[in-house]
Amino acid sequence: MFAPAPFLLKDTSVSQVMTQVCIALVPGIAAYAWLVGPAILVQLVIASLAALIAETAMLHIQKKPLAMFLSDGSAIVTAWLIALTFPPLAPWWLVATGTVFAIVVAKHLYGGLGQNPFNPAMVAFAICIVSFPALMSQWPSVGLQLPLVDQLNVILGLAPRVDALSGATPLDAMKTALKLGEGSQDVAALLANQDIYGNFAGRGWEWVAFGYLIGGLWMWQRKLITWHVPLAFIASLVAISGALWLLNPAQFASPLFHLLSGGAMLGAFFIATDPVSGCTTPRGKLIFGAGAGLLAYIIRVFGGYPDGVAFAVLLMNLCAPVIDLLTQPKIFGMKDAGKGDRP
d(CA 232, CA 293): 8
Counting every residue, how long is the chain? Answer: 343
Helices and strands: H and E segment counts in the chain: 17, 0
> Which of 256, 251, 241 lies closest to 295, judged by CA?
241
Cβ 336 to other proteins, closest distance in Å?
9
11: Cα within 13 Å, side-chain hemisphere: 0
> Which of 264, 341, 275, 262 lies closest to 117, judged by CA?
275
Cβ 334 to other proteins, closest distance in Å?
5
Cβ 281 to other proteins, closest distance in Å?
7
Cβ 73 to other proteins, closest distance in Å?
11
Identity of the residue, 72 or 307, whose beta carbon is nearer to other proteins in the bound complex? 72
Identity of the residue, 115 or 194, whose beta carbon is nearer to other proteins in the bound complex? 115
Identity of the residue, 91 or 215, whose beta carbon is nearer to other proteins in the bound complex? 215
Identity of the residue, 103 or 196, whose beta carbon is nearer to other proteins in the bound complex? 103
Identity of the residue, 60 or 330, whose beta carbon is nearer to other proteins in the bound complex? 330
Cβ 114 to other proteins, closest distance in Å?
4
Contact predicate 70/59, CB 8 Å: yes
The residues binding other proteins (CB under 8 A) are: 1-10, 12-14, 16-17, 65, 68, 72, 74, 112-115, 226, 275-276, 280-281, 328-335, 337, 340-342
d(CA 209, CA 106): 26
Distances (CA, A) of 331 to 223, 322, 338: 22, 19, 11
